[in-house]
A and B are shown apart, each in its own frame.
Chain A
Amino acid sequence: MYRYDEFDEQIVRERVEQFRGQVERRLDGSLTEDEFKPLRLMNGLYLQLHAYMLRVAVPYGTLNSAQMRQLALIAERYDRGYGHFTTRQNLQYNWLKLVDVPDILGLLADVGMHAIQTSGNCIRNVTADHFAGVAADEIEDPRPTAELIRQWSTLHPEFEYLPRKFKIAVTGAEEDRAAVSVHDIGIRIVRNEAGEVGYRILVGGGLGRTPMVGKTVRDFLPRVELLDYLQAILRVYNRHGRRDNKYKARIKILVHELGAAEFTAQVEEEYRQLERDGIAVAEAELARIAQYFAPPPLDERAEPSDLLAKAREADPALELFARHNLVPHKVRGHTALVLSVKPIGKPPGDATAEQMRVLADLAEQYSHGEMRITHMQNVVLPHVRLDDVPAIHERLLEAGLAEPNAALITDIIACPGMDYCALATARSIPIAEDIQRVFADPARQAEIGKLSIKISGCINACGHHHVGNIGILGLERMGRENYQITLGGDPGNATTLGERLGPGIDADAVPGAIEAIVDTYLELREGPEEQFLTTLARVGHDPFKPALEAKKETADASA
């Protein structure tokens, strides 16, 4: 894991004191709310429905045990004993007071963490494949690149006041687990014909109210040119991105309005003229940073593990867990263990301070002190010996983190929705909980297989509903919550946006409608191997429509 040097440490410390001063100046009237708001947002601080919400960066999703314990401590001391893991590799606290936040940022700085640029119209915390350094399909670990971009973009004087937020994601694997094509800039680490490693650069993806898939502006960028090339993209965006309408201010709209070819030409022109001072930096820094991400010393071990195999036979719960929550590791005899922060009927992604400490302990004991946060709002122990899985499973059961549902239908992504969010048009969490209850039976989940449900509480799409196999969007209609269902979204390599199934339905009709959709799928699929998207592609939306209608009627009748 990356460790701060004296410079990184200093900048984070100074940033804390800077924010302390800004809070004081807001309270004494030197700053108006309009002036202060961008400053607090750039420190990850929102004002939500009930309190201030702080979004802490978990840089490229990697976290150590000491950091996790500090997150637990903050949850207890300043919040209500829990935190919320988000799809963007952040942790959010929901119940903070403005006056406490400088001290909280200080506690984060003590363990090399921060909330810098986790919100606001600037370059946000960079996200990366959560299986970085673990996955066998990896060309290169994306985290040194992500860390380099983090440093470069932190308080970059030219780019702190962009037209709108700016999200960058990096993946180094064949399978895109970081959803790079729905980011403002998506970076794929690739190899060219000569075998050199470099970057494919995508620009202009995004979800939100105008979902778009990023366009490739450079097929192969030599790695040392990365920072200068980013500089060129950001400068074109900062100068020409729209500032007249915040709904049209993302770079995706600029790319769309100019056309990908013209946008690319402008970037290349700016790049040609630019003072190239980033090349030496990238070269030296990538090498320096990469040292920190050297893989932990893992000895190859026998695979499959006899010990685990026997335990699985003896314990059906472990069998289910092992079947769904173990991900192959590139070192034989090891696994990346997915811990579902999605127990049935609980808010997806919420972890109590107690659970955080259990995770920290398990990571220390079994995973070289390391954890990952996934965009599925789950936690991963990345370097676990297969032999250790039974012991870990036991501890997880006690902590309520042993749900055997990774990537199954109850592994739902849901944004905070109207239970917390000031922008929401409807709630998301209760919908997620109700759906989980319908599918609580692990055997039923296993039968259904991989299927993603994603829920957003408004058109901003923080719950990624566009790319859910089943997407649910909460809106308001005539003073009531109303939910639109989309089918067919896929965040993976062939990014596809879901299509609406029909008119919106009431909250209490949603679980039944989802159940009917799933039943229809089970009926129509050609075998248990055929995944939902394949069936849908084969039969189209039509067979699913009556299911939705029928459920609406029963809901109306029972109302």
Chain B
Amino acid sequence: MRGMEKSSKLPKLPLVLTGNRLRDGDVVYFDGSDWTGDLSGAALAEDEATARRLETIAGDSAGVVVDAYLVTAAKGEDGRPAPAHYREAIRASGPTIDFGETA
């Protein structure tokens, strides 16, 4: 898993903190005070100090969010975070295929 070692090397900045909510497994992002389902509402850490603060929040949230991790994000034109990697893009917007009743 992508669990975090203390004071480990950070992924490339800027970063967001994300994980899956324990109760329902939903993808969530830390928005500065709480967890949100929307990547564009996530807090974007653009410097190491902010990133380290997010890191401690990951540890403190273990009862609510499973395996929270910091991940590199892109900064969209509007300044809001956007996925930087296809894995995160799929996490943020769901499977890329039709499924279930829509299939």
Interface set of A (CB-CB < 8 Å, partner B): 26-27, 29, 32-33, 47-52, 79-82, 94, 96-99, 346-347, 350, 352, 418-420, 424, 427, 429-430, 433, 479-481
Contacts A33-B66, A49-B91; A419 near B26 (Cβ below 8 A) = no
Would you call B101 and A352 a contact (CB within 8 A)? yes
Q: Quick one: which of A48, A50, A97 has the most chain B CB within 10 A?
A: A50
Partner of A419, one of B22, B23, B97: B97
* B contacts with A: majority SS: loop
Contacts A29-B63, A420-B95, A430-B96; A346 near B103 (Cβ below 8 A) = yes
A418 to B95, CA, bound (A): 8
> What are 29 A-B residue pairs whose CB atoms fall within 8 Å in the complex?
A26-B22, A27-B22, A27-B23, A33-B22, A33-B66, A47-B66, A49-B27, A49-B87, A51-B24, A51-B26, A52-B24, A52-B25, A79-B100, A80-B101, A82-B99, A82-B100, A94-B99, A97-B23, A98-B23, A99-B24, A347-B103, A418-B86, A418-B90, A419-B90, A420-B95, A429-B97, A433-B97, A479-B86, A481-B86
Which residues of chain B are near A480, meaning CB under 8 Å?
86
Task: Indicate with 1 or 0, residue by residue over B24-48, a CB within 8 angstroms of chain A CB atoms.
Answer: 1111000000000000000000000
A51 to B24, CA, bound (A): 7
Which residues of chain B are near A48, meaning CB under 8 Å?
25
B85 proximal to A (CB < 8 A)? yes
Partner of B101, one of A81, A94, A433: A81
User: Apart from A48-B25, A82-B100, what 10 extra A-B contacts exist at CB < 8 Å?
Assistant: A47-B20, A49-B27, A49-B87, A81-B100, A94-B99, A97-B25, A350-B103, A427-B90, A430-B97, A479-B86
Would you call B99 and A479 a contact (CB within 8 A)? no
A55 to B94, CA, bound (A): 20
A346 to B63, CA, bound (A): 38
Interface set of B (CB-CB < 8 Å, partner A): 20, 22-27, 62-63, 66-67, 85-87, 90-91, 94-101, 103
Which residues of chain B are near A347, meaning CB under 8 Å?
97-99, 103
Would you call B90 and A82 a contact (CB within 8 A)? no
A424 to B90, CA, bound (A): 11
Which residues of chain B are near A32, meaning CB under 8 Å?
62
Would you call B25 and A47 a contact (CB within 8 A)? yes
Which 10 pairs, one residue from A and one from B, show the smallest C-beta to C-beta distance? Answer: A97-B24, A419-B95, A51-B25, A82-B100, A52-B25, A80-B100, A81-B101, A81-B100, A429-B97, A346-B103
Which residues of chain A are near B63, meaning CB under 8 Å?
29
* A contacts with B: majority SS: mixed
A427 to B62, CA, bound (A): 29
Would you call B24 and A418 a contact (CB within 8 A)? no
Task: Closest A residue to B95 by CB, please name it.
Answer: A419
Would you call A50 and B96 a contact (CB within 8 A)? no
Smallest beta-carbon distance B33→chain A, Å: 22
Would you call B96 and A427 a contact (CB within 8 A)? yes
Would you call A98 and B100 a contact (CB within 8 A)? no
Would you call A98 and B103 a contact (CB within 8 A)? no
